């Protein structure tokens, strides 16, 4: 996703306990990664192990973190003045129990999304090496999307069409946050803004299950979120030969009219973007394997006919797929 001129700038931060004196690392971890909650590691300072990466903008905070087992309590008294945030969280590894102990009622497993309000009293228990990826949003923005005050709730993917797209977006951005050398610094702002927009659109979609489909936008344009959802859906389903605007719109949780508007706002077309995703995937696959059956490759990348794939590839990259493949591997052998 490209950076929008309107995207608020973001900063990146990275920390690992291995870089900090054992006597200081827990306090530092609490102050920066858990400054809205009461967090207590379940290991000694010398055994404590954690790392996190953060992206901050004026509109939201995105983070991905891993740590030793710990417990965490949320309470209005823990939230600093002026910090009224709500957290959308994806558990990527390990497990977490919400309200752990007597009366515990939620067991979160990898792949699950949850919405958590830091102002709500709760007790969380994170397992060893649990990895969480999350987006912290202002309560006012979440309230506007939901149409009600937010509370702790797990987001069942079968109840929300956009939950899989949001989980995939979180995982993608988390990987890039942990490997900052893979993306130009200026690109992060656009990706963070798109993730925020997709998160708000997902909440809006969740809140309106059963209401009239695709309600009009009353407060802000949701083009960025719809575009992000559609791109993520296309990337996950580019191999499908039945992928058309109707299927993509359904995957993005909107009508075809809204889908077309979202892409037109960026000077793009839906099917042109899908074609680019497929061609880029084909190029990457050719660069990974010295032996490649181009007919099978084109089919895997969503092209029903190899002749169409060859024409489109040459128009995009200036040479036929066979020529690109041969040149790519001759270059690697010459190193």
**pLDDT tens across 282-298, in order?**
998 888 877 778 888 89
Q: In the Cβ-directed half-sphere of 166, how many Cα atoms lie within 13 Å?
A: 31
User: What are residue 56's phi and psi, to 5 degrees?
Assistant: -120, 135
Whole-model pTM? 0.74
Domain with CATH 2.60.120.10 in the chain: 11-170
pLDDT digits (tens, 9 = 90+) for 29-67: 887 777 778 888 888 877 889 999 988 888 899 999 999
At residue 209 the predicted structure's pLDDT band, cuts being 50, 70 and 90, is low
* Architecture of the domain whose range is 220-335: Orthogonal Bundle (1.10)
Asked whether 139 and 117 are in contact (CB, 8 A), the reply is yes
Domain with CATH 1.10.10.60 in the chain: 220-335
CA distances in angstroms from 77 to 64, 99, 124, 173, listed in the order given: 25, 18, 16, 31
Question: What pLDDT, on the 0 to 100 scale, is given for residue 104?
Answer: 58
At residue 334 the predicted structure's pLDDT band, cuts being 50, 70 and 90, is low
* Residue 225 pLDDT greater than 90, yes or no: no
**d(C-alpha 132, C-alpha 39), whole Å:** 15
**Could you tell me the two tokens for 275?**
């074609």
At residue 189 the predicted structure's pLDDT band, cuts being 50, 70 and 90, is confident
**Could you tell me the two tokens for 134?**
């999350």
**Fold of the 11-170 domain:** Jelly Rolls (2.60.120)
Asked whether 143 and 185 are in contact (CB, 8 A), the reply is no
CA nearest neighbour of 61 among 91, 95, 28, 36? 36
* Residue 69 pLDDT greater than 90, yes or no: yes
User: What are residue 143's phi and psi, to 5 degrees?
Assistant: -60, -40
Q: How many residues does the chain have?
A: 335
């Amino acid at each position: 996703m490209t950076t929008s001129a309107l995207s608020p700038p973001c900063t990146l931060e990275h920390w690992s306990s291995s870089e900090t004196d054992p006597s200081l690392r827990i306090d530092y971890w609490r102050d920066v990664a858990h400054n809205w909650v009461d967090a207590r590691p379940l290991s000694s300072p010398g055994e404590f192990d954690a790392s996190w990466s953060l992206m901050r903008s004026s509109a939201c905070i995105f983070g991905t973190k891993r740590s030793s087992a710990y417990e965490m309590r949320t309470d209005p008294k823990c939230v600093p003045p002026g910090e009224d945030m709500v957290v959308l969280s994806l558990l990527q590894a390990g497990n977490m129990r919400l309200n752990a102990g007597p009366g515990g009622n939620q067991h979160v497993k990898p792949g699950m999304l949850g919405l958590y309000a830091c102002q709500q009293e709760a007790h969380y228990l994170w397992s060893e090496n649990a990895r969480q990826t999350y987006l912290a949003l202002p309560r006012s923005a979440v309230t506007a999307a939901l149409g009600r005050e937010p509370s702790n709730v797990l987001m069942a993917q079968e109840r929300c069409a956009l939950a899989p797209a949001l989980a995939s977006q979180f995982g993608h951005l988390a990987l890039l946050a942990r490997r900052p050398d893979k993306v130009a610094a200026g690109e992060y702002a656009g990706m963070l803004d798109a993730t925020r927009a997709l998160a708000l659109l997902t909440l809006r979609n969740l809140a309106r299950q059963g209401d009239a489909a695709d309600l009009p936008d009353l407060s802000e344009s949701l083009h960025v979120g719809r575009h992000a959802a559609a791109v993520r859906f296309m990337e996950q389903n580019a191999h499908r030969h039945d992928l058309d605007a109707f299927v993509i719109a359904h995957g993005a949780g909107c009508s075809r009219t809204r889908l077309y508007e979202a892409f037109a706002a960026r000077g793009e077309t839906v099917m042109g973007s899908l074609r680019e995703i497929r061609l880029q995937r084909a190029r990457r696959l050719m660069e990974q394997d010295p032996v490649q059956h181009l007919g099978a490759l084109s089919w895997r990348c969503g092209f029903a006919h190899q002749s169409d794939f060859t024409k489109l590839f040459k128009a995009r990259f200036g040479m036929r797929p066979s020529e690109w493949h041969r040149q790519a591997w001759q270059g690697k052998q010459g190193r």
